[in-house]
Structure 1
Amino acid sequence: MKQFRPFLISGGMALLSALLVLGGFAAAFSEGGMQAPAQATSTNSSVEVTASPTKTESQSVDPDKGGKETSTPTKAISPTVIKTTIAASPTTKPSNTPKPATSEPDPTNTKAPTNTPVPNCGPPAGWTTYVIKSGDTLFSIGVAFGTNVPQLQLANCLGNSTQIIAGQSLFVPNVATITPNETPTKTPKPTDTATSKTSTTTTITSALPDPSVVGQSVTVVFTVTGSGGTPTGNVTVSDGTNNCVATVAVGTCDLVISSQGAKTIHASYAGDSNFKSSTSANEAHTVNKADTTTTITSALPDPSITTNAVTVIFAVSVDAPGSGTATGTVTISSDNDVATCSASVAVGTCDITLTTVGAHNLTADYAGDSNFNASTSGNEGHTVDP
């Protein structure tokens, strides 16, 4: 059996090396305990295990030494290095390693901050309440009541919130012009009311005298008719410049025309609550110039002398049925002298110097104007001394 000892010893050395390798792994596990698997990465990891060198000796029987066993030192076994490479798949997902506990809250579980009420909030004096309707917003209510969102928030102590609930009361200004979410009532136009009125017909039946003269009253007779009743109200008669007014019931008014020429007269009915307005057809009418009367009221001094001026006072009046104020020039003359003087109707006086000694007849001649006829005064006797 001694011849098998070298084999057993060398085989035992190999077994010892293997045990040392396994012992290294066991030590690694015993130091840290069971560790959680490391997260795989895209790099390769290797583990080297080195077995400590051991010095052994072999035993053999030497016949030269009387058959006694002898020990022969053997060469030390070189350290054995076992290298293990673990390749990690780059697609390996990280393990669901529990997060370490910290003092920071989970942002997903953080509660939304609450609105902080504004200090000194509340409705101003004079505000009233409004019941919130479905679809209302602070903005729409602010527009309807002439205010804005910040003012509504302050008056109702809403802080920075814009949330409102239908059915609740909200403080609002007491100056609203419309009610939110309600359609304003349509106000009928004047024409809508007028369409329900009865039509009328206005007619001028006469305008006399025709022709008339400037300033003369022309009596205009008119009628206003309508179906289903009797119109009331006023009628205005006009030639475009002058007018007169009378009621439908009276049916006549006197129109005084202030200028001569061809005229058109019409009557306009104003209408009432039941009858529409209407205007008559034009009524042709002629107005002539009015006659005038010129008068010398004095010529002084009388007698006069050839070197003294004589002041003549005159007047021009409009003859009835005409009326008005004549304009234009009046000339004073003598039948026994070439001397004259002139002045306007408005001035009414002029000075004439007579050079012929003896008796004179003074006259005033009015030339007339666009509306009044000319006229000449009667003789005014006057004496001129040497």
Structure 2
Amino acid sequence: MSDEKTTDLQSHGRGPEGERLSWAQALTLFSEAPVPYLLLNSRGRVQEANAAACTLLGVGAEALRGRPVTRLLTPGTQGTFEWLLGQAEGVRGRVRAEGQLLHADGTVLDVLFDLAGPAPGSAPGPLRLVVTDITPYKEAHRSLLDQAATQDTQLQAGATRFRAAQQELEGVVTVVLRQLQLPVARAMNYLGLTRRALGESVPEEVARPLLQSERAVQQIIALLASVDRYLQMRRMRLGLRRVDLERVLREVLKHAQPVMEGRHVHVTHDPLPTVQGDSQALFVILDEYVANALKYSKGREIARIHVRVRETEGEYHIGVEDNGAGFNMRQKDRLFHLFGRLHPSRSYEGTGVGLVTVRRLCERFGGRVWAEGKPDQGATFWFAWPKSPTLLD
């Protein structure tokens, strides 16, 4: 052992016999330590190496003595170890860094260095270096990263295939819609011409089937229009800009004038905010809600529609309230699903697509939808719009 180690042991102030005993115990602990352990001088040269260190490096203790540790490292780790030596000189306790060792057979080992110098105020002594082989952990980590990268690639490929299939399906549906519109329109015209040709004196057993057929074709036309609008919404190019909801509501009410004609409809609203969003999307949302309110309040002598506004820290809640037929809250989960209807089509026209369109548009901006109602006491359909929306695909 070197003079530096002897000086370090003598600093405990023991007698000669006690020093020999302490030295033997220390040497045994050092040699038999289960972890690779090296003693270095201040320049990073090996003074002693225990059995575990020799096994790790594949080099005997005699061959290691006096050898710079940097020669046992890969080129990329040598600078890290020089930095570690500089840190150990002035830092209390251990300093730690990862690096790579070279085994005698050329194998590269991933290791963790724990380097400690003499305690502050104590006599000069060797630097103590503990080396932990973390190669299995690094290999497992790299394997996990490779698996994650492979899974990510597979997910991206799957998402690409899904988008392609979705676009193909939407294309097929669009073509079918276009192909159906003309024959359905012709059927509607034919039924109308037939009814008018038969005149008022047509027997009830003929008039009733004609009228039912005409209503059925009207429902088909409405369904085709709703599905077409839904597909247009999915392909809609949306953006984020300031949108005045007061102005949007005015446009919605102008669009609803043909439906309100000949009816007593009283529309009011709270002061509406200016939000970040897309004017086209917000028009569709309010248009569907107002159309829904007009439809289910048609049985009232005076239809009352009120647009409510509530504000939270992060959202605006916009609700369209009506005094119409209402609904049972136990059935509310069906409202915003495709073709989800709570009332029979013979009582209220509709396709069950409009509210789904609203939900999808709100979700694309990070919003949400819900409804509140009571049978025969009206309903309020709400959407929550984030104050700082994020446009999603």
* TM class, shorter-length: under 0.3
Structure with greater helix percent: 2
Q: Give me the TM-score of the superposition, normalised by structure 2.
A: 0.18
Structure with greater strand percent: 1
Q: Give me the TM-score of the superposition, normalised by structure 1.
A: 0.19
